[in-house]
Amino acid sequence: MGGTIIKWLGHAFFQITTPKEKVIFIDPWFEGNPSCPAKLDDVLKGDLILVTHDHFDHVGQTIELAKKTGATVIAPVETAGSLKENGLPEKQIIFEGIGMNIGGTVEVDGIKVTMTQAFHSSATANPAGYIVGLEDGKNIYHAGDTGIFQSMALLAELYPLDCALLPIGGVFTMDSSQAAKAVDLMNPKKVIPMHFGSFPILEPNADRFKELVTNNNPEVEVIILEPGQEATLD
């Protein structure tokens, strides 16, 4: 079994390839994403698609991607309902079109997905984050769009984090200072910042975030990716 490959495709969009070569997409926003270097036509395989909330820059091309790959979609209940109303076959939505909700865990082909709270807004349902438990026992946390919250520490206690994917852009989510404090709460082995640099009103880079985390938690590896770049989780 090899390592896990985490590819950032801009904004909150990630592609995760697991040790057993399962391909997981999170918030797949291709079209209109100013920082995404990939196209939907480039995708050859997909097993799971996780949607954190119902905003255009996160739902993105979930329906098109799911239809192309046959992937199972995991989303909050009402967001799943909206996807179904817009043409996603219910057989491709977890629990035969129902979706799931915060606190729930589902296992799909050896991948455990736990839906967590996130503090944000959404056109349907409550926004969410996900803790993805891989076949080798490692945990990756995608916080979704959120502000900081104290129970991030409790989540990390329940699911020790090998890697956290955290928004740092400000305006709509945590900024670098809050995200660095979130690292204090969770103490992941690695952290990858996201949701920055996509639009002019967001923080343009992750320099300050890296400085804060390195000063406060030098044992945490900060991995700053450019869109299209990958990190390996050994």
The pLDDT assigned to 2 comes to 75
112-151, pLDDT tens digit by residue? 999 999 999 999 999 999 999 999 999 999 999 999 999 9
Side-chain half-sphere exposure of 86, counting CA atoms within 13 A: 15
The pLDDT assigned to 160 comes to 98
* CATH superfamily of this structure's domain 4-226: Ribonuclease Z/Hydroxyacylglutathione hydrolase-like (3.60.15.10)
CB 5 within 8 A of CB 232: yes
**Is residue 15 predicted with pLDDT exceeding 90?**
yes
CB 52 within 8 A of CB 73: no
The pLDDT assigned to 118 comes to 98
pLDDT band at 43 (very low <50, low <70, confident <90, very high): very high
pLDDT band at 23 (very low <50, low <70, confident <90, very high): very high
Q: Mean pLDDT across the chain, nearest whole number? A: 97
Which is it for strands 111-117 and 4-8: parallel, antiparallel or unpaired? unpaired
pLDDT band at 234 (very low <50, low <70, confident <90, very high): confident
Q: What is each CA distance from 193 to 25, 65, 156, in whole angstroms?
A: 17, 24, 17
159-176, pLDDT tens digit by residue? 999 999 999 999 999 999
How far is it, in rounded angstroms, from Cα 205 to Cα 173?
A: 15
Q: What is the mean pLDDT of residues 7-11?
A: 98
154: number of Cβ within 10 Å: 12
Q: Domain map of the chain by residue range?
A: 4-226
Report the largest interatomic distance among the alpha carbons of the chain, rounded to a whole angstrom. 48
Q: What is the mean pLDDT of residues 90-107?
A: 98
**Is residue 1 predicted with pLDDT exceeding 70?**
no
